[in-house]
Structure 1
Amino acid sequence: MDGKKLEYKGVEALKELERLTSKPNEVQEDILRKILAQNWDTEYLNKFMGKSATKSVSQFKKSVPVITYKGIRPYILRIGNGEDSSLITGHPITEMLCSSGTSAGEPKLVPSIAEDLDRRTFLYNLIMPIINQYVPGLGEGKAMYLYFVKAEMSTPCGLPARTVLTSYYKSCHFKQRPHDPFNDLTSPDAAILCYDGHQTMYCQLLAGLIHRRRVLRLGAVFASAFLRAISFLERHWRDFCLDIRTGKLHDDITDPDCRSAMLDLLEPDPDLADEIEQICCQTTPWKGIVCRLWPNARYIEAVVTGSMSQYVPALKYYSDEKFPLICPMYASSECYFGVNLNPLCDPTEVSFTLLPNMGYFEFIPLGENGKFLMDFDDDDEEEDGVPPSMLVDLVHVKLGCYYELVVTTFSGLYRYRIGDVLLVTGFHNHTPQFRFICRRYVVLSIDNDKTNEEDLHRSITAATRKHLESRNALLVEYTSYADTSSVPGHYVIYWEINNTIHPHAPPISTEVLEECCIAVEEGLDYVYRRCRTNDKSVGPLEIRVVKAGTFEKLMDLFIAQGGASINQYKAPRCVKSKAALKLLNANLSGCYFSPRDPTWNP
């Protein structure tokens, strides 16, 4: 990819998108040839393809194995300890990107080279031209996007180790971005680049309130981060009003760059403070608070697919269902993948068009006609578990079929299993479009049962819709673990519930929560219900309700442990950390069990 493509804007960006998606096979073959030419003399490729001066595409597909992180980790650790980048890539590794660790259980270090930032910026530059086709006039106002960085670490040899978003926000690509209307953010860069979580959240929300009438776009990377901001706003709106009324910044903001930048924004505005105070005082509960505070906003942008889809009811509640929820892109620490070309679609219908110039994409077939053909086994970490001949190229995936995504990158990942399950939903020109389904690994298992993330999420969503939302209560967050401390073991699900969204709603009763337990069990698969009912090898499901704010404490715990930033954080759907379990169990408000066996028909 030429550097000049970073300058594509508007119509030019859309033309480039059309060009790429019109000939994905040609683009993909060219990408793989360039990767092999750039990295031909690496120790890793020589191990499987020999030391020939050229390495062909056919040789690569025949000889290079499919791997998980375990297969590349030794090379990454060697580079982190000071060995040369040529172990895996022909260009110098400039940093290690830290994955969040909340999906797979522990953070991973992912190698990155300088030109990777060019690819990420290329994808970012497509998003606004795509959305502007459906929501015109976005350049006439500001964007209140909540962005967060995380303090950097370093490897033993001194390579920076940071999250992929911290890498981008600290790069010249972000700091020297064109000052065009699409890049007009409410927050000064100093507020975004502040490492202190409280100070950066405070300043970004304060800046958003100062510019409330000019805000046309709202968002955060993940829906969970946006909802955390609303919770923060609910606790601190009086402080914001005082700052705006007096033109003085709260004493808690001590970061010098952040304080200086915010003082440049602040000036006494009693009328604005009165407006915000009136809205926040009279809106109890806070239904529709977002559209009242930012009345000219057109949409909320955030990831709402996969595990983030559980936040959709809360987002709709706080926006009074007046804003579309736009999920713009699909990306990971390892590689940026694609964009949503139908941004105003329902969150349940989001599909992503994979951009064939981002990396080389292959796919492990998992099933068709709505059924998976391969087990979701959390122990399936063997590098030789998937024969290379099984993989399907991007242009050969089939409509309606399920696949696990495999990626090869310029920075030294070869046939690397991302772990995401995708469903082919259609095509744009000749390029497939995919819906994210779930992470492929099991989250819960006691006996022969193997419950994956999608099944757990689907059963919880159905139970809460029937028993909580109908009673004016929302599920704020959930996680789970398999409790084997007694025999038989059983599933434990931690729920944080908000039942204050309606002023006259009664408390959620024991009977309702027991019905939730059985409803979740009824939504799980045949094997689980057999183990519960017939084999008696799994005990009754338990819901442990935790106090308000518990999952924010859990987020703080994981962030403090050095994995995710607020941008990246996804609540783990299964916890194994003793510290996390201790925190959850220390904040219980009640425990409830299934009152009967789920139905099961042999």
Structure 2
Amino acid sequence: MTTLNSKLMDLEELTLNAKQIQDDMLEEILRVNANTEYLRRFLHGSSDKKLFQKNVPLVSYEDVKPYIERVANGEPSHVISGEPITYFSLSSGTSGGKLKFFPTNNKYFENLAFIQALCSAIISKYIDGIKEGKVIKFMNTRPLSTTPSGLHAAPAFTGFLRSDCFKNRPSKCYTSPDEVILCFEDKQSMFCHLLCGLVQRATVVSMSAIFAFTLVQAIRFLETHWKELCANIRSGHVSDWITDLSCRESVSAILGGTNLELADVIEKECIHKSWEGIITRLWPNIKFIESISTGQMSQYVPILEFYSNKLPLISPLYGASEALFGVNVDPLCNPQDVSYTFIPTMSYFEFVPVDEGNNDEIVDLVDVKRGCSYEILVTNRFGLYRYRMGDILEVTGFYNSAPKFRFVRRKNVVLSVHVEATTEEDLVKALSRASHVIESSGLMLMGFTCYSDVSTVPGHYVIYWELKSRKTNGIVQLDNKVMVECCCVVEESFDIIYRRLRNRYDSIGALEIRVVDQGTFDSLMEYFISKGASSSQYKTPLCVNSPEVLSILEEKVVARFFSDKPPPLGYKHGNIGITMMHKNN
């Protein structure tokens, strides 16, 4: 309880003094970094805030990439950082379509450990008894690569899991031993996570992953492997294909010999035709699910609600490879209402208004205004100065003097075939409406992505859908009328510019939904992992244009549907007609 109170007191102190802490943070960053090669040409050794704001430019990744590459190739850290660079964090490579790597050191991992402990304290304030139980946390690592300078490079979370901050954590609350968490092989790691979690089912109080997608993937894996998992529990023997020796030994110790009764209990739940509520049925003492379910992850909220009997779904924190930002101080709020309170010790934050009429005036953290939207700039300790994250956030209020932000969208993830710009937020909202329609057919939307097809005249939007029956092993039967209605609902959800171009000027063709085979989005993930992405940090890209990615999708298309009429210029949803369905044989 002392640790809990201490962390909650930290939250109060940090948010009450946000302005002073941010000013001190910038002063410290500039004092340490002003004489780096990068900053010296703008600041001439000064750590003055006004000079920083006047002279240091706003930059994108391409602007700083040459400096990062120089350090990676063996030049001294002081090219960009006054502190030693000891590690390069790789981005997921799926949000913006390109893999990026960022210089960092142990301070990033210390910040992550602090912010995770803060999240845990906040959740404990609202939910009793979680410290006495265990967490099934689906996480694993990627192999470390080495830069020409000899420094390690891997996804940020891999670096954290291999750091002393994780190894020396005060609480061993996970159902899986560290050997499973540190396993490189995704399938072996997932199987062992589930096996350990099922064996300790009575102690499990929560299920967790970085992103909601990973939890959905875990349930799908369980659907295809539950019989083998039961066989392992029944025999007390780990499957022979688990070849990671440290994994085998540690999991065998947890398995602890034969357990016929437990295997029968699990089998009894898994043989049901419907897996609705399977999480609460397999883990009867579970209290909540923890994963990021905002932004593009919001598409998985209905799926997790189906599998968990609508357990509280907590989005604990907001972070990225570049920096950590904030925590959710209202963890039991609805997923669509999540906001993150920024923690002023994480980095120095500035904000560029995206609303019209603001003249691009850049404002400090405490000077943002409720109801306004901003693009975030990051200045950190490791070589990023006034870096444009590309994340658009809306201010929803304040916790003490620290603002609370709702994630709105990524800045550059848009669809367009003419002069319209359909944003990430537009897509997620439209697909959320359409997923409610598909539920009438007993189906669930398991994943989607899209692209602008300009090979036809006029160009049109193509959305790839992977669907699944709400019944275990149920056949996906596509109702033509329902699918066409989904196409129309999506179009009706877009803004007035899209609807006008589609309606009056015939500048945009009918929206198309292409249904793909089950497992297609797993194949997509495997492709990105083969290119260096981390399964723990993976996010299905909302928009794609890579020929390789489109080829993976196109090979799996089983049916195509088009909207059969232009959307009305008003938002009211009308009756929908029927159009032709074409199948790829």
1:235-257 C-alpha deviation (Å, 9 max, x unpaired): 11111111111111101100111
Mapped pair 1:434 → 2:423? no
Verify the 8 A CA contact 2:208 2:289 in the aligned structure 1. yes
1:25-47 C-alpha deviation (Å, 9 max, x unpaired): 00000000000011121011112
Q: Summarize the Cα distance change of 1:83–1:241 in structure 2 as closer, same or farther, 3 Å threshold.
A: same
Q: Summarize the Cα distance change of 1:352–1:8 in structure 2 as closer, same or farther, 3 Å threshold.
A: farther
Please report how far the alpha carbon of residue 443 of structure 1 lies from its aligned counterpart in structure 2 after TM superposition: 2.0
- Of the three residues 33, 38, 42, the one matched with 1:44 is 38
Verify the 8 A CA contact 1:9 1:126 in the aligned structure 2. no
- Of the three residues 510, 517, 531, the one matched with 1:540 is 510
Query: How far apart, CA to CA, are the structure 1 residues paired with 2:183 and 2:92?
Result: 19
Aligned partner letter, 1:600 = L
C-alpha RMSD over aligned residues: 1.7
Query: How far apart, CA to CA, are the structure 2 residues paired with 1:424 and 1:436?
Result: 9
- Aligned residue for 2:582? none
Verify the 8 A CA contact 2:468 2:476 in the aligned structure 1. no
Mapped pair 1:345 → 2:333? yes
1:128-184 C-alpha deviation (Å, 9 max, x unpaired): 111000001111111111112112222222221111100000111111211x3xx31
Aligned partner letter, 1:74 = P
- Of the three residues 164, 186, 192, the one matched with 2:175 is 186
1:512-567 C-alpha deviation (Å, 9 max, x unpaired): 1111111111111111122222222221111000011111111111111112x121
Q: How does 1:100-179 map to 2 (within 5 A)?
A: 100-178=92-170
- Aligned residue for 2:260? 270
So what's the TM-score if we normalise by structure 2? 0.95
Please report how far the alpha carbon of residue 438 of structure 1 lies from its aligned counterpart in structure 2 after TM superposition: 1.0
Q: How does 1:275-290 map to 2 (within 5 A)?
A: 275-281=265-271, 283-290=272-279
- Aligned residue for 1:383? none
* Aligned partner of residue 559 in structure 1, secondary structure: helix
* Aligned partner of residue 504 in structure 2, secondary structure: helix
Query: How far apart, CA to CA, are the structure 2 residues paired with 1:261 and 1:310?
Result: 35
- Aligned residue for 1:216? 205
Mapped pair 1:331 → 2:319? yes
1:206-263 C-alpha deviation (Å, 9 max, x unpaired): 0000100110111111110001000000111111111111111101100111111111
Please report how far the alpha carbon of residue 485 of structure 1 lies from its aligned counterpart in structure 2 after TM superposition: 1.5
Please report how far the alpha carbon of residue 345 of structure 1 lies from its aligned counterpart in structure 2 after TM superposition: 0.6
Verify the 8 A CA contact 2:92 2:99 in the aligned structure 1. yes
Query: How far apart, CA to CA, are the structure 1 residues paired with 2:451 and 2:145?
Result: 30
Query: How far apart, CA to CA, are the structure 2 residues paired with 1:410 and 1:167?
Result: 17
Query: How far apart, CA to CA, are the structure 2 residues paired with 1:450 and 1:107?
Result: 24
Query: How far apart, CA to CA, are the structure 2 residues paired with 1:123 and 1:401?
Result: 26
Gap runs ≥5 in structure 2: 571-585
Mapped pair 1:497 → 2:491? no
Q: How does 1:253-268 map to 2 (within 5 A)?
A: 253-266=242-255, 267-268=257-258
Q: How does 1:580-599 map to 2 (within 5 A)?
A: 580-599=549-568
Q: Summarize the Cα distance change of 1:101–1:366 in structure 2 as closer, same or farther, 3 Å threshold.
A: same
- Aligned residue for 1:358? 346
Q: How does 1:149-548 map to 2 (within 5 A)?
A: 149-178=141-170, 180=171, 183-266=172-255, 267-281=257-271, 283-321=272-310, 323-367=311-355, 390-465=361-436, 467-501=437-471, 507-548=477-518
Verify the 8 A CA contact 1:23 1:430 in the aligned structure 2. yes
Please report how far the alpha carbon of residue 302 of structure 1 lies from its aligned counterpart in structure 2 after TM superposition: 0.6
* Aligned partner of residue 443 in structure 1, secondary structure: coil
1:443-463 C-alpha deviation (Å, 9 max, x unpaired): 211111111111111112112
Mapped pair 1:570 → 2:539? yes
Query: How far apart, CA to CA, are the structure 1 residues paired with 2:537 and 2:511?
Result: 30
- Aligned residue for 2:61? 69
Query: How far apart, CA to CA, are the structure 2 residues paired with 1:583 and 1:438?
Result: 26
Aligned partner letter, 1:20 = L
Aligned partner letter, 1:485 = S
Query: How far apart, CA to CA, are the structure 1 residues paired with 2:301 and 2:546?
Result: 27
Verify the 8 A CA contact 1:8 1:125 in the aligned structure 2. no
1:41-95 C-alpha deviation (Å, 9 max, x unpaired): 1011112122x3x321111111101111111111011111111110111011111
Query: How far apart, CA to CA, are the structure 1 residues paired with 2:267 and 2:16?
Result: 52
Please report how far the alpha carbon of residue 373 of structure 1 lies from its aligned counterpart in structure 2 after TM superposition: 6.8
Q: Kindly tell me the number of residue pairs found equivalent between the two proteins.
A: 569
Aligned partner letter, 1:105 = G
Query: How far apart, CA to CA, are the structure 1 residues paired with 2:482 and 2:69?
Result: 50
Query: How far apart, CA to CA, are the structure 2 residues paired with 1:411 and 1:125?
Result: 23
Verify the 8 A CA contact 1:337 1:354 in the aligned structure 2. yes
Query: How far apart, CA to CA, are the structure 1 residues paired with 2:217 and 2:473?
Result: 22
Please report how far the alpha carbon of residue 506 of structure 1 lies from its aligned counterpart in structure 2 after TM superposition: 8.4
1:347-377 C-alpha deviation (Å, 9 max, x unpaired): 011111000000001101112xxxx779xxx
Percentage of pairs with the same residue: 44
* Aligned partner of residue 540 in structure 1, secondary structure: coil
- Of the three residues 87, 97, 102, the one matched with 1:95 is 87
Query: How far apart, CA to CA, are the structure 1 residues paired with 2:471 and 2:79?
Result: 56
Query: How far apart, CA to CA, are the structure 2 residues paired with 1:144 and 1:499?
Result: 26
Verify the 8 A CA contact 1:21 1:355 in the aligned structure 2. yes
So what's the TM-score if we normalise by structure 1? 0.92
Please report how far the alpha carbon of residue 596 of structure 1 lies from its aligned counterpart in structure 2 after TM superposition: 1.4
Verify the 8 A CA contact 1:472 1:502 in the aligned structure 2. no
Aligned partner letter, 2:509 = G
Aligned partner letter, 1:456 = L
Query: How far apart, CA to CA, are the structure 1 residues paired with 2:11 and 2:42?
Result: 35
Identify which range, 397-406 or 109-118, moves more after superposition: 109-118
Gap runs ≥5 in structure 1: 1-6, 375-385
Query: How far apart, CA to CA, are the structure 2 residues paired with 1:428 and 1:600?
Result: 40
Query: How far apart, CA to CA, are the structure 1 residues paired with 2:520 and 2:86?
Result: 38
Mapped pair 1:11 → 2:12? no
Aligned partner letter, 1:432 = P
Q: Summarize the Cα distance change of 1:575–1:503 in structure 2 as closer, same or farther, 3 Å threshold.
A: closer
Aligned partner letter, 1:507 = Q
Verify the 8 A CA contact 1:155 1:161 in the aligned structure 2. yes
Query: How far apart, CA to CA, are the structure 2 residues paired with 1:426 and 1:529?
Result: 33
- Aligned residue for 1:4? none
Aligned partner letter, 2:479 = S
Please report how far the alpha carbon of residue 508 of structure 1 lies from its aligned counterpart in structure 2 after TM superposition: 2.8
